Structure formats: structure tokens, C-alpha cells
Structure 1
Amino acid sequence: MARTPPIPPRPPCRLYLITPPAIPDLDAFARDLEAALDAGEVAALQIRLKEADDATVLAAVAALKPVAQARGVAVILNDRPDLAARSGCDGVHLGQSDASVAEARRLMGPEAMIGVTCHDSRELAMEAAEAGADYVAFGAFFPTATKATTHRPEPEVLTIWQETVEIPCVAIGGITAANAADLARAGADFVAVSAAVWSHPQGPGAAVAEIVAVLTVNP
């Protein structure tokens, strides 16, 4: 009788960085980004500048994309698949009121990485997966000053998703080195972090090193 092959272990949870909501000094932030990315393994950088005009967003991508891509970090633009395609980003992250996955795919092509915010809803996540999203994001798991949030999912949503669906899930919202490991153990494939990195008292490099360390020790 043929033996059932063992189920391969789940890859360790990885860090997904998100920029601050505004970047007044691109040169200074590019140096901070270099320090962050050199301090530990980062899977992706989302450029998230919701209040900025198109020219400011494109300038940010032009300054930050080379820093990230030189280190093997995927560059994801928030909300705007048109600007993501125009500026050569690796992907786009869509909110529920943004373009559809199909429209983003049409604009960016088959190789682009497309993620979708799904708040606390497995139903929205399933719809995104069926539409062809490459990952879904649940949150905000904890209070956050980065953006206004109304949804507060339980970590169980990550566990259920991990057990039933193949595409990766991202945990977002108020994540720090103190709580990242709990979400990783619950089933997050990635933890998305913003303020805890850019506002760290010892700098972004120290923050990334701390978070990567807890994800490595507590897979």
C-alpha cells in the first residue's frame, strides 16, 4: 500500500513593511528604508500614501523602488493599479472600494502580485481568492494610529483561512514585536507593520531586527 506523503511544514511567517502615511523627506526616508531592509528579511514593501497626489506617489516609487528591489523586496503600491503599472511596481494592494482584481490584473499583467483588504470577513477573502488575488489581508487586529479602523477580527480567522485556503494571508493593524508571534502562530503568512518600525525609538533597523527575531524563534 502506498504511503501518504507527509504534509510539508508551513513556511515561516515573514515581515511585510508599509510606509508611513506621509513621507515629507524622501531622501531621509530612503536611508531609513535601507537600514530597515538591511536589518532582517523583509518580503514586501507597500507604498501607502493615500492623501498624496499622483506626482508625489510616483516620486516616492521612483525613490524607494530601487532600494527595495535591490534587496529582493517586492514593491506593492496601495490602491492604484494604474500607477503601479506605470511605475513598474511588483504589485498592488486593493481596498474594498478600489479597482477590482480583474481590472488590476488587466492593467498589471499576469505576473503582478495583487492583494486585497478583507477586514474581518472570510466571505470577502473567498471572493478575492476566487477572483484571482495572490493574497488577502485581515485586520486591524489591534488598535492603530496609522489609519482609522472599524473591524477587529479575532486571530481565529487566520487559523481557519490557513486550514482551508491555499493563498497566503496577511495580518495587519497595530502589530509590534510584542504581538507578531501570536498572529504568526495563529496562521498569518505575513505580518504587515508600519508605525512600530518607523517610530521605533532605536530606529527602523532595530525594529525590523526585533520583529524578524520573534518570527524566527516563534514560527
Structure 2
Amino acid sequence: MSSPLPARGLYAITADPHDCDRLLPQVEAALKGGARILQLRDKHRRLAPAEARLLLRSCRAHRVPLIINDDIELARQMGADGVHLGREDTDLQRARTRLGPDAVIGASCYADLDRAVAARKAGATYVAFGAFFSSPTKPHATPAPLDLLTTAKSRLNCPIVAIGGITPENGSALLQAGADYLAVIHGVFSQSDPEKAARRYADLFETHAELP
């Protein structure tokens, strides 16, 4: 585990892959477009560990951390930078024990600030809130209000991820409210040109940095 967590930026999450031959060039394009973190989301376990390592190789070449969704043992086996855990996944303390003190461990907190506070106390590296907008991945998610990001930023000393229906058009409001990362699935990986799509999100962070 060797890629440090960046201060801010596009957090690209893969759509459930059908095969590595299709996914790998999409990932490479997203990384070239400016993704600063990559999460492998493989709910159906279609990729073999050897194929997942090809993604890790690309991430290493771009100095981008690779986070594995849900699967602590895969993250440990392949030497990924960390894991992201949701409500139904293994508890954070077990993940920290298995992956070690330097691993990145993210926690989905939905629209629940108390859950985020507890996750941080349990050792989460970052917390994620959402969905902020309508999302095809989580169509029934409880909507998260923008001011949740502002409150979380004032109470938590860790990076904050916003997720759920984020587009280049609505992402600026999330950054202004306090998000450090914008997590995007379909806005990058369902596009005909993932590199161009990723760059549009990456540009938001440059614009936000220039605002007074």
C-alpha cells in the first residue's frame, strides 16, 4: 500500500464490471482525465484477483490510490490501498485489524451524521454522504441535504466524500458546502469518453480553488 490519499479531487468508482478487457481501458482513461482516487466496485465478483491487480498497476503508474468496495480480503491479498465499507459490510475495527494502520478505510454514512461520527471514532479514514441527487445506483437512497456537508466539515477532522447523482453541473454546490471528494460512477464510466468525462469533474476542483 503506497499511494497516499490526495487532499481532494474526483473519486471515480467503477460500474460493476463485465470483464477486465473492457474495464481496464476505461480505468486508464479516467486516471488520465484526472481521477484522484479509484474504487473497484465489483458486487458480483466478476474479476479474478489477477485481473484486479492490473487495475492496481494502472493506479500505481498514476500515483492514485485504489480502494476495494466491501472486500477486505481481496484488498489485503492484492495490496490495495484500502477498502470502502457500507452498512451491511464488515465492521471498521475488523477492517483496520486486517489491513493495518496505514490502510485507507472509508465508510458510507448516507444522510446520518451520527453514523459518520461513530465511524470516525472507530478508525475510518474518510466518510461518505449521499445520495445528494437522484442516482441510478441507489434509486431508493434517503436524500442527503447539502448542509450536512457543512456540518460534517465543522465536526469531523477527516476528508468528506459526496456521492449520488453528481454531475459537472451540480458538483460545484457540493464543493462549496464542504465536500473534499466527488464520488462518481455513471458520470465517468457510463460515458463514451471516460477521460473527457473525468476531466470535466477534475476541472471543478480547479475552478473551486480559484474562487475567493
Q: CA deviation at 1:31?
A: 1.4
Q: Deviations over 1:152-208 (max 9, x none)?
A: 11010100111121111100111111111110110001110110111224x001101
Aligned-partner Cα distance in 1 for 2:87–2:22: 32
Q: CA deviation at 1:59?
A: 4.1
Question: Which structure 2 residues correspond to residues 61-140 of structure 1 after superposition, within 5 A?
Answer: 61-140=52-131
Question: Which structure 2 residues correspond to residues 190-201 of structure 1 after superposition, within 5 A?
Answer: 190-201=181-192
Give the direction of change, closer, same or farther, for the CA distance of 1:213–1:12 in structure 2 (3 Å limit).
Answer: farther
Q: TM-score, normalised by structure 2?
A: 0.91
The unaligned stretches of length 5 or more in structure 1 are 1-10
For the residue of structure 1 that corresponds to 2:127, the secondary structure is strand
Superposed CA RMSD: 1.6
Q: CA deviation at 1:69?
A: 1.5
Give the direction of change, closer, same or farther, for the CA distance of 1:110–1:186 in structure 2 (3 Å limit).
Answer: same
Q: Which structure would you say has the larger Rg?
A: 1
For the residue of structure 2 that corresponds to 1:137, the secondary structure is strand
Q: May I ask how many residue pairs the two structures share in their alignment?
A: 204
Which residue matches 1:8? none
Give the direction of change, closer, same or farther, for the CA distance of 1:143–1:32 in structure 2 (3 Å limit).
Answer: same
CA contact (8 A) 2:59 2:65 kept: yes
Which residue matches 2:169? 178
Which residue matches 2:3? none
Aligned-partner Cα distance in 1 for 2:122–2:160: 15
- The aligned amino acid for 2:135 is T
Identity of aligned residues (%): 38
Which residue matches 1:50? 43
The unaligned stretches of length 5 or more in structure 2 are 1-5
Which residue matches 2:159? 168
Q: TM-score, normalised by structure 1?
A: 0.88
Q: CA deviation at 1:87?
A: 1.4
Q: CA deviation at 1:81?
A: 1.0
